[in-house]
Amino acid sequence: MRATLIDVAREAGVSPATVDRVLNNRSGVRTRTRQIVLETAQRLGYIGEEGGTGPAVAHRPGERIDLHFALPAGTNPFMQTLQAELLGQGKARDGIAVHVETIEGFDPDALARMLQGLQGKTQGVGVIALDHPTVREAIRSLSSSGVKVVTIASDILHVPRVAYVGIDNRAAGRLAGYLVKRFVGPGRTKIALFAGSLSYRGHEEREMGFRHFLNEEATGLHIVEMREMLDDREKAYEEASALLDRHPDLAAIYNVGAGNTGIAKALKEHGFQKDVTFIGHDLTAAARALLLDGTLDAIIDQNPRVEAREALNILTHAISDVPYEGHPPRLQVIFKENIPEH
């Protein structure tokens, strides 16, 4: 039987929580302890030889597995990091060929055509999918042809996928609401929402979670505007600038998707970077700088390295019909004071 996380914890002499922190590359674990956990996990076959990029190879020696990933193109740093992780981790695995396809814009029909075109060319597909009838039908068609499918970062319900790899986006939205409530001072009430595209179920779920928290726990705060940025930093800058002109007494901004740098530029130009609470997603290099200079108050992170690892693990095991106990990414709130190492 394959080793479990509990087995690794017992053999390494640490708690299961410590093993989880190491495998998800979180801070708070001493270097020597991290080394012991990784060595133990490798020795037991729980992960491969690449220091945590995945478990022991699931497919038979000499077998080649082709995987394709459909990701949005554009300036979204999280997507760029995820693509690099998929390609890098895939290259480190023997017998795995990883291909990444990108879609310009938020075009569900183009994404559906791409997915349909992968039939007969691949064994597994990972997709950050727009929740649209043509995309759902393309996933059903892929699955019925024998291709294993996982959704990444944003889920689609009622399609025959193997798994969803990502955080609980509704919980992420509620968490953002809690942070806004704690940060905003008394007497201030106006909140603005920015989203990449609500055609992503993940962004829609974050918005819903945020709104529900405010309705339940922070009735004095109200959303004055909501804008879709299409994950474009220039559009984010233009919309944020116009928003701040209309609402100079704005209390907080919650950015559901990408475009943090554009919003930050507008805040700085208006001189509001210290006055408007700003909560965003994904610890990119730009987000680190904005946390350090105080423009961003908090980042809700989902760790693309872990999402890439889990997507690769789940697909390869499903294709080889080998059981796999996943370790999905968890929500982590990052402030200026707890920015993890690169």
Tell me the pLDDT tens digit for each residue of 92-143: 888 899 999 999 878 999 999 999 999 999 999 999 989 999 999 999 999 9
**Per-residue confidence at 304, pLDDT binned at 50, 70, 90?**
very high
Site of tokens 């559009």: 235
Q: Cα 249 from chain centroid?
A: 32
Question: Of 82 and 199, which is predicted with more confidence?
Answer: 82
Return the half-sphere exposure (C-beta side, CA atoms, 13 A cut-off) of residue 286.
17
| Residue 265: predicted pLDDT | 98
Kindly state the tokens that stand for 115. Answer: 């997915």
Kindly state the tokens that stand for 259. Answer: 């475009």
Residues 127, 149: contact at Cβ < 8 Å? yes
100 and 131 share a domain?
yes
**Per-residue confidence at 62, pLDDT binned at 50, 70, 90?**
low
**Per-residue confidence at 43, pLDDT binned at 50, 70, 90?**
confident
162 and 309 share a domain?
yes
| Residue 8: predicted pLDDT | 86
Q: Strand 65-72 and strand 124-127: pairing?
A: parallel
174 and 163 share a domain?
no
Residue 114's CATH number: 3.40.50.2300
Please report whether residue 51 resides in a domain: no
CB atoms within 10 A of CB 129: 30
**Per-residue confidence at 52, pLDDT binned at 50, 70, 90?**
very low
Kindly state the tokens that stand for 142. Answer: 């892929």
246 and 135 share a domain?
no
295 and 309 share a domain?
no
**Per-residue confidence at 59, pLDDT binned at 50, 70, 90?**
low
153 and 199 share a domain?
no
292 and 313 share a domain?
no
Q: Is the pLDDT assigned to residue 56 strictly greater than 60?
A: no
Q: Is the pLDDT assigned to residue 61 strictly greater than 60?
A: no
Question: Of 45 and 2, which is predicted with more confidence?
Answer: 45
What Cα–Cα distance (Å) separates residue 194 from each residue in 1, 6, 71, 235, 255? 47, 41, 21, 11, 5
Q: What is the pTM of this model?
A: 0.82
Q: At what angle do helices 169-183 and 201-217 cross, to 10 degrees?
A: 40
Average pLDDT over residues 205-225: 96
188 and 276 share a domain?
yes
Q: What are the φ and ψ backbone dihedral angles of 152, each rounded to 5 degrees?
A: -125, 135
Counting other chains too, the contacts that 237-243 makes at CB distance below 8 Å and 24 or more residues apart are 237/262, 237/263, 237/265, 237/266, 238/262, 239/194, 240/194, 240/265, 240/266, 240/267, 241/266, 241/269, 241/270, 243/192
**Per-residue confidence at 156, pLDDT binned at 50, 70, 90?**
very high
Determine the structural domain holding residue 271 and report its residue range. Answer: 169-301
235 and 151 share a domain?
no
213 and 150 share a domain?
no
Q: Is the pLDDT assigned to residue 182 strictly greater than 90?
A: yes
| Position 246, amino acid | R
289 and 194 share a domain?
yes
Q: Minimum mean pLDDT among 22-26, 145-149, 172-176: which range?
A: 22-26
Average pLDDT, the chain: 90
Average pLDDT over residues 167-184: 97
Domain count, the chain: 3
**Per-residue confidence at 38, pLDDT binned at 50, 70, 90?**
confident
| Residue 170: predicted pLDDT | 97
| Residue 57: predicted pLDDT | 46
Average pLDDT over residues 163-175: 96
- Alpha-carbon distance of 139 to 146, in angstroms, equals 11
- Alpha-carbon distance of 103 to 68, in angstroms, equals 13
How much of the chain, in percent, has pLDDT values that exceed 90?
65
Candidates 257, 218, 207, 260; CA nearest to 237 is: 260
| Residue 342: predicted pLDDT | 61
| Residue 70: predicted pLDDT | 96
Return the half-sphere exposure (C-beta side, CA atoms, 13 A cut-off) of residue 281.
32
156 and 262 share a domain?
no
**Per-residue confidence at 51, pLDDT binned at 50, 70, 90?**
very low
- Alpha-carbon distance of 33 to 304, in angstroms, equals 23
